[in-house]
């Protein structure tokens, strides 16, 4: 009875319901007098036969009488393809309309995909999105435009998305807002052409790096000539810039040659180049109390706007993963759990084109390892702690050193939990970075939901990643300094467990967000069964808290004792030496 019903409610919308399950759900709902259990009600709507007039009337009656959910975002589930009824979708939107613009912005990615489930172009959802976008063109409208524009190339959806962009432009309160978006779009088109040309000259025509750099600077000079006034960067409407700083712009030597772009900040209160030089000069001479800024060759004081332009890479999985990290971080912060997460900004502006936020003053784990020797550094457990000591020497400022170690432990817990649950793959040491302030964070999320990388050697499939997340001896040593027992390591375990259990409580929301992204046809998210990976990692079958704690402890120790991970790190360091 009751236990069976609770087990049914735990189903995340992946498996279809049997007739017996639907009947049990209907009987349960009929007994609910206070009409407050949102989880049961949403589940009940899945059991309704919408082709049966009588069943539909009963469902409509419940829609009117049921109490509003405490978490309006839970209703986003009702915008999936299986809920085609307009009254149900309107109920969902009325609840989503309770979200403020900041909260709604978090779910725009899924709401745009839900447009593909509408029967007509003119729908409640399309009107809702345009209404909210026009009322806040910066926090909603800007991002809605680029989400629509990034899929405008699709023959299947270009008409619908094109009409919505036109409708948004028609109702904008200011003509200048439309012009601003068109200028941004023109800039992205020109950068795409430049990136394509450099890819050809550098990789196919085998021109020298100097030749390609000269070509890049000439093209950027032409762009500068057309930048007359303040320009908005598509990555964030709050970022206002002027002309490009050509000398600081360059291209990376990877396959798609992404462009590292540096714009002059339009903020009148930002530091000028002379101000930066003065601070660095004072820092080096020690004439004032300024803390060391230049660390291991990183001498940038970021008052310019620096972004990475990418053309040729599919950024959608990065965007979805970073959205999940943002939501997890907000969930933890609401529970007073600050894990010092650094989910950077990424936006797609066209097919395989977009911008990535650059986080400066940090080093990759691979660079930190190789500082201690190409091979030896990958096995030396002291490397991460030594990096923190170089950034914040204990003899100079013991408080700053302990604060950096705390940030490291908190962020290590946060990213361990999130990458475990989301099944993030390809976690080589160049995809893990440590900031100057001690925060550890991950980048490049091209593989998720358990799609871990493997390699064939002599006809045998070699699994590069044998554990669900990265937690190496050097990470543990940076947390506890090799002391047993360590209060710092106990805190790490406590944060880890709390973060994991908080996500378990809200697993249904994360599952629904993934399910709503299936219409985007990402390479690793093409069917509903792909999402079941998240549920398996959360071990919802473990109801006893002690069993769950034991499972987490065993998994952490498995990662800690994974020698394969260290050898893979060493091979990666040798390859990129």
3-state secondary structure 200-256: HHHHHCCCCHHHHHHHHHHHHHHHHHHCCCCEECCCCCCCEEEEECHHHCEECCCCC
Q: Rounded CA gap, 440 and 559, in Å? A: 17
Residue-level pLDDT at 41:
73
Q: Of 350, 339, 509, 314, which Cα lies nearest the Cα of 419?
A: 339
485 CB-contact burial (10 Å; exposed 0-12 / middle 13-18 / buried 19+): exposed
Q: Rounded CA gap, 241 and 460, in Å? A: 52
Q: Rounded to an integer, what is the distance from CA 73 to the centroid of its chain?
A: 18
Residue-level pLDDT at 371:
86
* Residues 472 and 565: beta-carbon distance below 8 Å: yes
Task: Break the chain down into helix, strand, coil percent, rounded to 5.
Answer: 55, 10, 35
Q: Rounded CA gap, 392 and 121, in Å? A: 57
Is cis: bond before 485, omega within 30 of 0?
A: yes
Residue-level pLDDT at 474:
95
The pLDDT tens digits for 487-527 are: 999 999 999 999 999 999 999 899 999 999 999 999 999 99
Residue-level pLDDT at 401:
94
**CATH class, range 2-136+155-169:** mainly alpha
Residue-level pLDDT at 293:
34
132 CB-contact burial (10 Å; exposed 0-12 / middle 13-18 / buried 19+): buried
3-state secondary structure of 562: coil
Q: Rounded CA gap, 307 and 355, in Å? A: 7
Determine the straight-line distance between the first and last CA of the chain, rounded to whole angstroms: 62
The CATH code belonging to domain 360-575 is 1.10.1070.11
Token code pair at residue 450: 């358990």
**CATH class, range 177-312:** alpha beta
Residue-level pLDDT at 273:
59
Residue-level pLDDT at 254:
81
Residue-level pLDDT at 504:
93
Residue boundaries of the structural domains of the chain: 2-136+155-169, 177-312, 360-575
> What is the residue-level pLDDT of the chain in tens, covering all 577 positions?
445 555 655 565 566 666 666 665 556 655 554 455 566 777 778 778 888 888 888 888 888 887 788 889 989 999 998 888 999 999 999 999 999 999 999 999 999 999 999 999 999 999 999 999 999 999 999 999 999 999 999 999 999 999 999 999 999 989 999 999 999 999 999 999 999 999 999 888 888 999 999 999 999 999 999 988 899 999 999 989 999 999 999 998 888 899 999 999 888 777 655 565 666 566 555 433 333 333 333 334 457 889 999 998 889 999 999 999 999 999 999 999 999 999 999 999 999 999 999 998 899 999 999 888 777 888 989 999 999 999 999 998 899 999 999 999 999 999 999 999 999 999 999 999 999 999 999 999 989 998 887 776 656 667 778 899 999 999 999 999 988 888 999 999 999 999 999 999 999 899 999 999 999 999 999 998 999 999 999 998 888 999 999 999 999 999 999 998 998 888 888 887 7
Q: Of 134, 83, 84, 125, which Cα lies nearest the Cα of 107?
A: 125
Q: Rounded CA gap, 492 and 337, in Å? A: 12
Residue-level pLDDT at 336:
96
Identical topology for domains 177-312 and 360-575: no
């Amino acid at each position: 009875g009751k236990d069976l019903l609770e087990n049914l409610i735990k189903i995340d919308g992946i498996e279809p319901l049997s007739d017996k399950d639907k009947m049990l759900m209907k009987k349960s709902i009929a007994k609910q007098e206070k009409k407050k259990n949102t989880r049961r009600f949403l589940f009940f709507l899945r059991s309704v036969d919408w082709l049966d007039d009588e069943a539909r009337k009963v469902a409509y009656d419940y829609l009117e009488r049921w109490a509003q959910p405490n978490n309006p975002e839970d209703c986003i589930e009702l915008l999936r393809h299986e809920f085609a009824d307009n009254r149900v979708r309107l109920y969902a939107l009325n609840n989503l309309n309770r979200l403020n613009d900041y909260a709604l912005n978090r779910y725009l990615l899924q709401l745009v995909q839900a447009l593909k489930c509408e029967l007509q172009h003119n729908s409640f959802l399309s009107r809702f999105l345009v209404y909210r976008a026009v009322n806040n063109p910066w926090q909603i409208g800007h991002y809605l435009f680029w989400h629509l524009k990034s899929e405008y190339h699709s023959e299947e959806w270009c008409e619908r998305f094109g009409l919505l962009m036109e409708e948004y432009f028609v109702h904008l309160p200011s003509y200048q807002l439309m012009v601003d978006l068109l200028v941004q779009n023109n800039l992205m088109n020109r950068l795409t052409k430049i990136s394509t040309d450099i890819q050809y000259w550098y990789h196919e025509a085998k021109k020298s790096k100097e030749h390609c750099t000269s070509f890049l600077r000439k093209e950027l000079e032409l762009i500068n000539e057309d930048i007359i006034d303040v320009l908005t960067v598509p990555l964030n409407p709050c970022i206002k810039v002027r002309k490009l700083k050509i000398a600081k712009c360059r291209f990376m030597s990877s396959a798609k040659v992404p462009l590292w772009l540096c714009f002059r900040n339009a903020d009148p209160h930002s530091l000028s180049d002379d101000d930066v030089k003065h601070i660095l000069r004072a820092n080096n001479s020690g004439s004032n109390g300024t803390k060391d800024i230049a660390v291991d060759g990183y001498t940038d004081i970021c008052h310019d706007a620096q972004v990475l332009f990418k053309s040729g890479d599919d950024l959608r999985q990065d965007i979805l993963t970073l959205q999940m990290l943002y939501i997890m971080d907000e969930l933890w912060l609401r529970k007073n759990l600050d894990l010092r997460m650094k989910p950077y900004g990424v936006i797609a502006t066209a097919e395989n084109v977009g911008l990535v936020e650059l986080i400066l003053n940090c080093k990759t784990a691979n660079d930190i390892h190789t500082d201690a020797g190409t091979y030896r550094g990958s096995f030396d457990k002291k490397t991460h702690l030594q990096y923190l000591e170089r950034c914040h020497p204990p003899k100079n400022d013991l408080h700053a050193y302990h604060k950096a170690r705390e940030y490291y432990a908190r962020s290590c817990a946060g990213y361990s939990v999130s990458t475990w649950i989301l099944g993030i793959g390809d976690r080589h040491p160049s995809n893990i970075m440590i900031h100057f302030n001690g925060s550890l964070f991950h980048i490049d999320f091209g593989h998720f939901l358990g799609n871990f990388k493997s390699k064939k050697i002599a006809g045998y499939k070699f699994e590069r990643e044998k554990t669900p997340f990265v937690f190496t001896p050097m990470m543990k040593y940076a947390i506890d300094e090799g002391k047993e027992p360590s209060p710092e390591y106990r805190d790490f375990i406590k944060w880890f467990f709390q973060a994991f259990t908080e996500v378990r409580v809200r697993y249904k929301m994360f599952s629904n967000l993934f399910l709503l992204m299936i219409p985007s046809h990402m390479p690793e998210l093409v069917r509903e069964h792909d999402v079941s990976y998240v549920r398996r990692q959360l071990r919802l079958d473990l109801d006893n808290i002690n069993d769950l704690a034991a499972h987490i402890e065993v998994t952490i120790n498995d990662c800690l004792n994974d020698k394969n991970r260290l050898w893979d790190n060493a091979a990666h360091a040798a390859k990129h030496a």
